[in-house]
Structure 1
């Protein structure tokens, strides 16, 4: 291909109004104002327009990616291959790509094929600002030229007012063989020339010179030229208001950094739904991870929570994508770090930390249980205890498993936390304790069951506890059953007393059993006690365990006033050993003179 002719020199004093503007494709909105939005479907109604749109978007995305990734990154190679494939497809299918560059759009044959109103991202804005007005790409375009073009554009994406040359200069230096540009000096008039200015018909006033004409014709939000200040003023000291000093200090202080992090997160998430040049999850997630790592490292808990809320509000509707973005912000390690940073002496958990735990994925209960079990300081920490209570609900099985692993006082403390956090779960745990072999947990479970509403499930557990290996557990269970007047426990208790009277049943337990039987069913208890005190036949009187049965009967008769009870106690006081005889006499005295038996009498 022959060498392209050099670009035309700048047409000083000209405005956009001096040249006919091609119309955008049918269905596109007017592109003059940056606030207008052009849907992706409107960019390229023809096949050539659609292919050009795809190629330019790939070019812009690849150039911007050089800011985020190292040039040797595998993703960069993928972006480059995509850009190359799209340009080769267009040039092979449609031939030369002759583009007109506008402030916010790029036009191909009267059809808008690229539009982006974000000045920080827009390829059109970068080219137009530096003076590029026309870009022609020949079918013979080579791979090295694509690489060089992307490199030039990526330089201009990295900074707006850095010291590098503008795009026009860099393109001319590159001396492309198959890329041609047309350029002007940018949005600056070299001289004031009133001769070519025309006042629009019907307007009250028009531009007075070429500079004003360019400013009037520039799109909204465009970078206007610097004004020339002709006023003269004496230099003098001026007192800066404290409010202004505070504002300036805040801009340069660390307090502004969390706000900037939040703003960056919002812009990244908005880029995921950009219809013209969307970002991908692989673009956004690593940057979000860096943002949140900074906020965690500097203990900006409230700012981190704001970022998390922003992700939940604005993330794509796809559940998998939302979880991936949320996981890039917070996890259980982040929560653990904040807990350790606060320290065990913290009197209460900050509301932001509690909310963060409810949002962050991960096993927070496991983290807190590890801290609780691993250190006496954390075990007594109000912070750890409060956070544990927020995580225990519905996790009874896991808490009980850790209880048994801990043992001793620590297991009791953990169970008491469970009783406050999840009373229903604590009932399940207590019922399980009663059927176990750990006496401390059994007694703690019984103490808790005394405080909750009684039911059949608890009653069955207490009856089962009558066969527990610990006498203290059996006595405590009997006391609870007696207060509840659990008649269904009558027969199991009678069997238990008879079986245990020959050995394992203690006097204290026998007395508790007698009181319970009298409470369960007085009608059935009275003849039973008579049989135990005065058994029929010689063999009955000589049967082993008779003394234990009589102790139970004496304690039960104390709650069954009447002539029959008095006669039995009187007979027993004359026909038994010293201790039992004295107990029978004391019980008989209380039955005959109940007022004297009261402590206050």
Structure 2
């Protein structure tokens, strides 16, 4: 009986919070942030959300085009779609949003502010997910449809391929010395003499004229050069001239914004590289040399200026040329004033095999916090032996956002040295850094690190810390110490004669006992389940159920 009723109450609580969210969003659009109406509606949303999180834990909402869904129940919709917070998030690719306990009023206000100004972001080539990412909200998590997944762009049809083949054969015949204008019947490109493919000064002039003349000649000449690039064995001078001519036409293509032609060049170069007919250095010479930061910025910015199908095509081309333009991407990451461009550059750099670490060390000394944070994020998967030394130095960085990324990196890397540095992070001045460090040490530490955790638990001010931090420390303590921690955890949740500990401490201690799962820990949880205090009973029951599930799984 209590199960369905409790579920219904939880859904109603989420529905109330979403209703308050809409009111806060609407008021923030109409009034200045310091207006009484805006402040009141924001305060009501803060109260409703915090109340839900205090009772039920995190709140995950599925974002659909015209509604928000919680536990498969609709908890929000709005008749006017354009004024719907669900539509705003859905439009910019957000499919799930989750709020976690411990969220601060400032984070909630930032979230509402981003929604209220979502329509203004398009004017500055920004989107909602990027705006939220820049706010670095620690207790708000959102899942975005990745713009760099999936295909995109149209494929050439058979007829177009046939026409292209005829053009290539005709142009190759024209370019071959002594061919006498044999035309399409003069032989297939694969059978041409490599020496006859060497570009003459006249060919180079023709290429430069094609570059200067924005006509169909540019496309035809590009096709010819790409076909010649597929035939190896030319003289060194011919190879150099070929790379120079292709670089010239590629620069012209970039300046003209012709995505069709750029797609052709990149796809063909990728194909030649995959077939082993050209080394990666050739494509870097052709595309990378001419890819200035201004050209790459224009290409990235075009994503928000074209229809979705065309935008997907640009994104695919960017992915395919990524390895050839790494230096320019790194330059944008550090120097671009456009946050959306920086985020796209970061996404590209973080894809595939990452970035060679040697390019990232200088960025970690940059005075701008976001450059350092992004460099740490990119370096995490590099496996470079020097990484730990850089992370150790950055644990003293003045900006907490950098230190948080350092802790995440140490957690991802793992190992004995990372565990030692995570233990140092427990004493950081910022609560969010300490919380992340405790979670990381729980995964990578050992019994030697128990003392580093316990010194905080024993401190007088521990009970005044945020609930999320208290829970992280006690879970790390239980995981690292095992059976030896049961007595201390048992004392933490029980009532005292003089002054009972705060509820977050008692609840976290019960949750931590569930990590131990020994007979004495289960006995302590049974006592908590019989305590007569409903919040403690609920948490203890869940912990016991989790232990039983793990035991069944281990036995199966």
TM-score band, normalised by the shorter chain? 0.3 to 0.5
TM-score of the aligned structures, taking structure 2 as reference length? 0.40
TM-score of the aligned structures, taking structure 1 as reference length? 0.37
More helix by share: 2
